[in-house]
Amino acid sequence: ARVQLELPEKFSFVTELTVRASDLNYGNHVGHDRILTLMQEARIDYYRTLGFKNELNFEGAVGQVIADVAVQYKSESFLADVLIIKIGVSDFSKYGFDMYFLIENKMTGKEIARGKTGIVCFDYDIRKVARIPEDLRQKLQS
């Protein structure tokens, strides 16, 4: 069976990224692995708008690790395409949450991909799973 991702009803962040030559594979379209990189870039942009400098330091040494990922590829994307990436967050636990991505071609409106990352907070000083910092939770849920 193929992976099927149900997206959240609400997206709390939208950004645009342009497809670069380094995103292309030998098929001359965006490579499957590069979709994950585009999701990461969008996630970093989102965190910055929330006031966090990076994914390694939400509070003290508490940052994040990716626990799981799923991607559903819908259509091709090519060099210089402008992609709209929407992010929604849900399924909070005391240690993490899921972040959902909808990637669309800005000019055609065509859906390129959808993805989900399971994010777990992690204390990099003691190398263990950590509770979600309250500041992060509040900003993600607002």
Entry pTM? 0.95
pLDDT at 142: 87
Q: In angstroms, what CA-CA distances link 29 with 5, 102, 121?
A: 22, 18, 34
Give the separation between CA 30 and CA 112, rounded to whole angstroms: 10
Give the separation between CA 97 and CA 43, rounded to whole angstroms: 13
Q: Could you read off the pLDDT of 1-59 as tens digits, one per residue? A: 888 999 999 999 999 999 999 999 999 999 999 999 999 999 999 999 999 998 999 99
**Residue 83 contacts residue 106 (beta carbons within 8 Å):** yes
**Two structure tokens written together for 58:** 């939400």
Q: Could you read off the pLDDT of 89-112 as tens digits, one per residue? A: 999 999 999 999 999 999 999 999
